[in-house]
Amino acid sequence: MPGGREAQVMKQESRQNRLKNNDSKLARKKVAGLHTTNMSSVNTYGASVSIKQCRNFKIDDIAVIRAALSELGLKRFRLMSYWDEHEKIQGEYDFARLDAQIKTITKQGGEITLCLGARQPRWPESHWPAWTKSMAKAQRNRALLNFIRTVVERYKHHTCIVSYQLENEALLKNFGQNGDFDRNRLRREYALIKELDPHRPIVMTTSTSWGIPLRRPIPDIVGFSFYRITHNKGAYRKSIYQPWIFKFRTALIKYLWHRPCFIHELQAEPWGPANIWDMGKTEQAKSMDIEILKLNIAAVSASTLYPIDMWGLEWWYWCRQNGQPELWEYIKNLDK
């Protein structure tokens, strides 16, 4: 049996470990909106903001965020740390735009999930800087880990950042360009983030209709996406998946890993045969309008998974700027 002083040290270390574990569990519950008593600290709805999509629509990302905060009443945002934006030249960093986005949201009491890694939302999905493309894989992986370290160390003291999302749909091989699907690298990324910021939860995501985490890394929170009408192989296709599937997957994940789930990406913009800004209103409406959005919200609401982070904020803003405010007004009046 350990002596008196040794026993005290062991008892103190055990207590500290319990506190750390409790902090991590509470953080997961807060971010996923799964409080046992209420959801007062998390809005029901959130949205993603991409500087690349804002450029496509020729709109200002900060103006979009300000309008979402002040007019739509959104408080939850997913922001991207695109590697090819912030380290265009190896070793030279420019975080001015991301700094401004975070500052804008912080001022209004908002919350942020910050995306990390090479694979982040918006086309081409994998956002490798040009200077990495001639590198050997091992060298490129080291450079990626160094970039992730730089981002986490820069922003981990911002209390508005309530979670990280690691590698959007990390192992989804049938969508996007320049994919590099490497589970061992993914594990190293996950371990690095936990080393640098052990108490902030990590979100990882699956595809629309399938997938549960069975192999490491097992995230703190699992995100599901839901796309109801998409254009693929020359035709519009409607998803056959119903809310019970989300409930079933959630139950499995809770049983296996005791992890919460939420809707990290709800389709709220068109997915047609061309870029949105190149399609007319009639074509856009084949995969997204107010009535379709209502059906999408009803479907994911029936899954009882919250919060619901919507995908399409840049488009709603662009529509409003071009004399089509109907979607903007509908989302403004959602009960958040």
Contact between residue 221 and residue 262 where contact means Cβ atoms under 8 Å apart: yes
Work out whether the CA dihedral 234, 319, 205, 157 comes out positive or negative: positive
Contact between residue 259 and residue 219 where contact means Cβ atoms under 8 Å apart: yes
**Greater confidence, 4 or 302?**
302
Tokens, residue 188: 């190293």
Beta strand ranges found along the chain (DSSP E): 45-49, 76-79, 111-116, 161-166, 202-205, 221-226, 229-232, 235-238, 261-267, 308-311
β-bridge partners, 112: 77, 161
Percent of the chain with pLDDT over 90: 76
> What is the number of residues in the chain?
336
Helices (H) then strands (E): counts for the chain = 12, 10
Percent of the chain with pLDDT over 70: 85
Residue 236 has pLDDT above 80, yes or no: yes
Q: Give me the mean pLDDT over the 23-28 stretch.
A: 47
User: Beta strand pairing status for 229-232 and 221-226?
Assistant: unpaired
| Tokens 């040794």 -> residue | 6
pLDDT, residue 242, reads 85
Tokens, residue 243: 């809310």
CA dist., res. 260 & res. 222, Å (int) = 6
pLDDT band (50, 70, 90) for residue 171: confident
pLDDT band (50, 70, 90) for residue 178: confident
Please write the tens of the pLDDT for every residue from 60-76. 999 999 999 999 999 99
Please write the tens of the pLDDT for every residue from 287-300. 999 999 999 999 99
Q: Give me the mean pLDDT over the 238-267 stretch.
A: 92
pLDDT, residue 233, reads 92
pLDDT, residue 311, reads 97
Q: Any idea which of 13-17, 50-54, 149-153 has the lowest mean pLDDT?
A: 13-17
For the chain, what is the mean pLDDT?
A: 88
Q: Of 322, 199, 189, 304, which is closest to residue 244 (Cα–Cα)?
A: 304
CA dist., res. 309 & res. 265, Å (int) = 5
* Domain annotation for the chain: domains and CATH numbers: 4-33+41-332 (3.20.20.80)
pLDDT band (50, 70, 90) for residue 36: very low
Q: Give me the mean pLDDT over the 39-56 stretch.
A: 84
Residue 321 makes CB contacts below 8 A (sequence gap 6+) with 59
- Which element (helix H / strand E) includes 76? strand 76-79
pLDDT, residue 32, reads 44
CA atoms within 13 A on the CB side of 193: 29
Residue 316 has pLDDT above 90, yes or no: yes
pLDDT band (50, 70, 90) for residue 180: confident
| Tokens 């983030």 -> residue | 193
Backbone angles phi and psi of 213, in degrees to 5: -75, 120
Q: Give me the mean pLDDT over the 312-332 stretch.
A: 97
CA dist., res. 53 & res. 268, Å (int) = 14
Contacts of 22-28 with C-beta under 8 Å, sequence gap 24+, read 23/199, 24/198, 24/199, 24/201, 24/220, 27/162, 27/163, 27/199, 27/200, 27/201, 27/220, 28/201, 28/220, 28/221, 28/259, 28/260
Residue 244 has pLDDT above 70, yes or no: yes
pTM, full prediction = 0.87
Please write the tens of the pLDDT for every residue from 83-133. 999 999 999 999 999 999 999 999 999 999 999 999 999 999 999 999 999
Q: Any idea which of 28-37, 90-99, 124-133, 315-324 has the lowest mean pLDDT?
A: 28-37
pLDDT band (50, 70, 90) for residue 42: low
